[in-house]
């Protein structure tokens, strides 16, 4: 991971993309007052998303945001681009399978009204994010999994698709011979897309979708479909998504604590950094334990931080279309 990504490096450790004018707030203000202050220049619309594939995903979201569309429509459209890309081996079509050679997908979506939907362990459906949205909009539930999720998708008109491409199948076959069928967790085999948007109307939404950790045990579900872990949105405060080793993100309720820390006055960057420090504190063995958070607050301020160097995110506004390095706690050994 250290060497394979090309970055536009804006600054060293602790990079924050503060697009709006930061507010100068008095000690007495509540966090809500601080972020809603009239003097703050809010940057909107804005879309941010994880990793290099975020550039194409943002472009998909931007088509909607730039025409005054909603953040919810934008986040769904954005990550659908990644889900359909057969070259991306960690999301949707072309995603690396589990150790049985089966592609299983996790996704969730959350809007400005705290409505949310999720699917986990879903198979043979190219757009889990759209199934998650249907769960949110057409049912009284938040999450459907496995066979039930697939059945629901088929009933809603989604088509069955073989998601295992030749390339991914070949990678899995090579992995099987070399790894003796042991799941490997490392930084090279997982790159979820999490995408957050603030629309022209000032509303936030987020989406997160993945094929999860490559060669995982059959049945394993990561953080990405879990509201509060892989994604959390509170329209009064901000939106957060996570990437990396899902187990570590779930253990600290990752995305929800970043939102809470922003609610209590931290900037997106400070909150992502604090959550990463919590991950580091709670895990004695940090071998290959990459976790990254990406946060967007109500003012259009962005922050991102990871355990190890190498995490980056894409940002698109009227003025900007870039890939930016996240801050990080340590270099890879
Ligand atoms: C998971 N968090 O399944 C996902 C994988 C990931 O970047 O984010 N990769 O654990």
98 with 153, same domain? yes
Q: How confident is the model at residue 178 (pLDDT cuts 50, 70, 90)?
A: confident
For residue 107, pLDDT over 70 is answered with yes
| 226 DSSP 8-state letter | S
142 with 262, same domain? yes
pLDDT in tens, 271-287: 999 999 999 999 999 98
22 with 150, same domain? no
Q: Which of 332, 310, 318, 300 is nearest to 16 (CA)?
A: 300
Mean pLDDT of 106-133: 98
Q: Is 233 in the pocket of ligand 1 (CB under 6 A)?
A: no
Residue 135: the pLDDT is 98
241 with 324, same domain? yes
For residue 29, pLDDT over 80 is answered with no
237 lies in some domain: yes
pLDDT in tens, 208-241: 999 999 999 999 999 999 999 999 999 999 999 9
104 with 229, same domain? yes
Catalytic site includes residue 192: yes
189 lies in some domain: yes
145 lies in some domain: yes
263 lies in some domain: yes
Q: Is 98 in the pocket of ligand 1 (CB under 6 A)?
A: no
- What percentage of the chain carries pLDDT values higher than 70? 84
65 with 10, same domain? no
34 with 150, same domain? no
Q: How confident is the model at residue 172 (pLDDT cuts 50, 70, 90)?
A: very high
105 with 225, same domain? yes
Mean pLDDT of 294-311: 96
Write out the residue range of the structural domain in which residue 115 sits: 46-328
Q: How confident is the model at residue 183 (pLDDT cuts 50, 70, 90)?
A: low
262 C-alpha to center of ligand 1: Å? 23
For residue 189, pLDDT over 60 is answered with no
Q: How confident is the model at residue 30 (pLDDT cuts 50, 70, 90)?
A: low
Residue 177: the pLDDT is 85
For residue 39, pLDDT over 90 is answered with no
99 lies in some domain: yes
| 270 DSSP 8-state letter | H
34 with 50, same domain? no
Mean pLDDT of 24-34: 54
84 lies in some domain: yes
Q: Is 185 in the pocket of ligand 1 (CB under 6 A)?
A: no
273 C-alpha to center of ligand 1: Å? 18
Number of domains comprising the chain: 2
12 with 96, same domain? no
Q: Which of 50, 192, 209, 243 is catalytic?
A: 192
For residue 231, count other CB atoms closer than 10 A to its CB: 32
Query: Does residue 200 contact residue 65 with C-beta atoms inside 8 Å?
Result: yes
266 with 235, same domain? yes
Residue 24: the pLDDT is 38
156 with 8, same domain? no
For residue 89, give Cα distances in angstroms to 27, 93, 103, 311: 47, 8, 10, 17
CATH number at residue 166: 3.60.20.30
Q: How confident is the model at residue 191 (pLDDT cuts 50, 70, 90)?
A: confident
Least confident of 49-58, 171-180, 258-267: 171-180
307 C-alpha to center of ligand 1: Å? 14
Residue 28: the pLDDT is 65
Single pTM value for the model: 0.88
333 lies in some domain: no
Instruction: Tell me the best of 214, 230, 244, 291 to mutate to test the pocket of ligand 1, counting ligand atoms within 8 Å of each CB and taking the most.
Output: 244
290 lies in some domain: yes
């Amino acid at each position: 991971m250290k060497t394979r990504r090309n970055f536009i490096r804006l600054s060293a450790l602790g990079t924050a993309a503060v697009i709006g004018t930061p507010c100068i707030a008095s000690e007495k203000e509540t966090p809500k007052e601080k972020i809603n202050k009239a003097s703050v220049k809010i940057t909107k619309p804005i879309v941010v998303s994880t990793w290099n594939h975020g550039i194409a995903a943002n472009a998909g979201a931007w088509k909607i945001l730039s025409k005054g569309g909603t953040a919810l429509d934008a986040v769904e459209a954005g990550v659908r681009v990644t889900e359909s890309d057969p070259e991306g081996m960690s999301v949707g079509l072309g995603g690396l399978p589990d150790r049985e050679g089966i592609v299983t997908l996790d996704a969730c979506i959350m809007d400005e009204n705290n409505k949310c939907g999720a699917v986990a362990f879903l198979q043979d459906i190219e757009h889990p994010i759209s199934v998650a949205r249907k769960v949110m909009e057409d049912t009284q539930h938040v999450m459907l999994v496995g066979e039930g999720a697939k059945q629901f998708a088929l009933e809603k008109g989604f088509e069955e698709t073989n998601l295992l491409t030749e390339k991914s199948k070949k990678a899995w076959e090579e992995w099987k011979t070399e790894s003796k069928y042991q799941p490997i967790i490392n930084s090279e085999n997982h790159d979820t897309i999490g995408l957050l948007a603030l629309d022209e109307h000032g509303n936030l939404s987020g989406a997160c979708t993945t094929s999860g950790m490559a060669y995982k045990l059959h049945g394993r579900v990561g953080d990405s479909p879990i509201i509060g872990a892989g994604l959390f949105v509170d329209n009064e405060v901000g939106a957060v998504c996570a990437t990396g080793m899902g187990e570590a993100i779930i253990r600290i309720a990752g995305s929800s604590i970043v939102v809470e820390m922003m609610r209590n006055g931290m900037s997106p960057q400070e909150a992502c950094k604090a959550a990463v420090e919590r991950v580091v504190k709670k895990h004695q063995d940090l071998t290959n334990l990459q976790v990254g958070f990406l946060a967007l607050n109500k003012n259009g301020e962005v922050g991102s931080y990871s355990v190890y160097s190498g995490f980056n995110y894409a940002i698109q506004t009227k003025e900007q279309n870039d890939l930016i390095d996240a801050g990080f706690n340590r270099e890879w050994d």
